[in-house]
Structure formats: C-alpha cells, structure tokens
Structure 1
C-alpha cells in the first residue's frame, strides 16, 4: 500500500464532516460542509496527493483547507519532522477545521483563517509542497512564488483542469492531469 492510501486509511473522512453527513463518509463524491464549500471527493484527494508527491520532513501549505481533512492528510504524510499550515478564508470553517485537526494529535499541523486579500501564507514561505482545493480561473503567480526554488510542487485545479507545477529557480514547469470541478477560489 502506498503512503497516500495509508494516510487516507488512518485519517478517516468522517471526522471532518458535519454530523448528519458522517454516515456518508465512504461516498466517493464531494459532500457539503456549509458556506457553499465542500469536502472533496476522496478519489480526487488521493490523486492530488499522489501528484503532490509529499515526503517526510517537508513543509506544506494547504489552501482552501475547509474542514481540515486535507491538512490532516498532509500532516500524516510529512510526519513529525515536517510542518503543515492550512488556510481557509471562511472564518467559521477555519475554526471548525482547526478543531477537527486538533483531534488528530498532529501538533506539527495548524489551520488558520486566511488573511483577506492574501493568497496562501507568504510570510512563512517557501514551501516544499502546496495543495489547493479550490479553483481559480488562472494559475496564481503568488502561490508559485511561495514554492521552494529547488523543486517545490504545487497541485491546483485551474479553469477545470488539474495542474502540477514544479518550480526550478525562476522557472516553473506545468503539466496537466485531467478535468475536475471544484468550488471557486475566493
């Protein structure tokens, strides 16, 4: 079993869903978490994490962290020697997600309310890995700039297509990995 499958088995989705939806945790589709946001389809999350190629000891950023599930999964993948910061723009979701994350006993991970008008957490950059679970119309240069110069990876849905961006100094390489639908990046 690969690291992503193991993490998804150990960090169960139901702990990151509204009480009424927990019985549907095994459903392979997005589930609402309020405020017009969703907990993403498990198969999609697994594919994104595999594209991200997270390694132990890395620093990761989770943009659009919502319920905290992807932040907790990233924390499991980076392990105790790594660090994960999740950001969520909806204050109520950020608070709920932080409480959900706290129950996973992974103190190397945190989930914060995003600062209005600021994409990501540039003050804490660079990051080895950035995961984005909401969809912008264009690739945000401000997130690419937060990647580590030597092989930092960003996985993000842009205008309906999953992109994997690898940064090499001032250059970056973009590959495309299928069509997806996500809530808009706000």
Structure 2
C-alpha cells in the first residue's frame, strides 16, 4: 500500500511541476495568438495561429519591421508592423516610406506594389504630424505601427503612437494552418 501511495505522490508531484513550468512559459516567455482580420495581409491571414515571444524585448529593443502584438485596448490585442522608432520622423508620399526624409524600402510590400493598378494607392500620404498627438518626432517609449494591408488597418494613423509598455511581444512564427507553417522574415 505504501508503494502505491508513493507512486501516486510521485505522479502528482510530476504533474504539478509540469503545470507550473507550462504556466511560467505561457505567462512570461511564449503565448499563442490567432490573427483576427485582414489588416496584415498578405503577410498574415485571418485565423493564422502564431507564437508570440513575450521575452524578446526584455533583452533587446524593438526594431523596424518587427511584427508585434500590443494591447490596443484593455480587452483587445492587435498585430501590426513597427515602422517608426523613437527619435524618428515618419512620412509616406506616393506609396514610398520616408524615415527622417530618407527613402526606406518595404520589401514585404513589393509584390503588392508591383501588382497594383496604375491609379491605385497602397498607403495614403501622411506625415507624423498628421497623426493623433501631432508629434514632430516619435518620443522615447513609443513606436509607430502600420498594418501591411494599409487601406484596411486600424493602426497608428488612427490609434496614434503605441507605448512600448503595451507591447506584448514579437511574433514571426506561423504554426497553423499547416500549409502556412513558416518563420517570417522581414
């Protein structure tokens, strides 16, 4: 009887440790997220399931073109791409991104730009000063984000700059559906 009791205790202890480790990993390191909506097409599709690295920005700074998850409201997280970083001025003119008045190529949008109609605009012109807040440069602790589907995205053009402390993490790994399984590159 004692041997059976010890075996049950060992199993219970192992399960408790497994649940504790899973909780710690989920809470502090990685979490699943499901893409909701078309705002990141063609890069991400509605219902793509991804893994969010919640730890990465504890050891490094956000970088231009990182795809991030952030708390847009207390109830809802959004997935967007970082375009502007602290200290920078951002503008888009004639579908060309300018950072501090220097043209920046957005390789992830090139296929869309190549296939658009002559009179079609991918990104309406804007300057950082035109966005909510009216900043001349992005202040410390904030980033400017845009969806890849520029004409169908609630991003910094609507929300304003995103406080870095609302960023949940970086995502670059689609694990479901299997035909979309991939690690995204910039």
Q: TM-score, normalised by structure 2?
A: 0.26
Q: TM-score, normalised by structure 1?
A: 0.26
Structure number with greater CO (CA < 8 Å, separation at least 6) is: 2
